[in-house]
Every structure is written in structure tokens, then in C-alpha cells.
Amino acid sequence: MENILSWISLHHEMIYIVILMIFLGVEVIGRVPAVLHTPLMSGANAIHGVVIIGAIIVMGKAENDNYVALGLGFLAVILGTLNVVGGFVVTDRMLEMFKKKR
């Protein structure tokens, strides 16, 4: 019990962030028109590509003789980049078409 409490107080920053972000995420897209559902989903998809940071850290910390970590980390970096780059480019392509007509 004491452990959990001390853990919470030690990580209260993270917990605050999580709670605030949940509300913010809901609030920020609350009034999106149906027309934008697809691009918004695609944009959100690109933003969670931030997981690439984790992949870079894994890769950058891998010891030179740890082939499993090197291989998997390398794969993770590729997949993460695919997510980020593909996500933003696809979203931009979709929105480009909207804009031309305005």
C-alpha cells in the first residue's frame, strides 16, 4: 500500500499528463464534421507514430553483440518510420484535395 502511494507521488507528473490528455483528446476533436473523419483518423494515426522515439532508443541502446536487440530494434525503427512518414503524407494528400476546392 505504502509502495503504491509512494509510486503515485513519485510519478504524479505522468499521471497528471495522462488524465489531462484524455480530456484534451476528447475535447479537441469533439466537434469534427463527418467530412473530416477520415483525414482526422489518418492524422491521429500519424501522431501515434511517435512510438518511433521508443524504437530509436531501443536501437541506440542495443549492445553491439546483442543481435536480437539490434535486429528487432532495426525492424522497429523501419516500422515506426513507415507509420510516421506514411501517416503524414497520406493525410496531406487527402487534405490537399479538400483545399483545392475551397
Compute the least distance from the CB of residue 102 to another protein, in Å: 7
Compute the least distance from the CB of residue 16 to another protein, in Å: 11
Enumerate residues 7-46 that contact another protein by CB under 8 A: 7, 10-11, 14, 17-18, 21-26, 28-46
Compute the least distance from the CB of residue 27 to another protein, in Å: 9
Enumerate residues 62-101 that contact another protein by CB under 8 A: 62, 64, 68-70, 72-101
3 state SS for the chain: CHHHHHHHHHCHHHHHHHHHHHHHHHHHCCCCCHHHHHHHHHHHHHHHHHHHHHHHHHHHHCCCCCHHHHHHHHHHHHHHHHHHHHHHHHHHHHHHHHHHCC
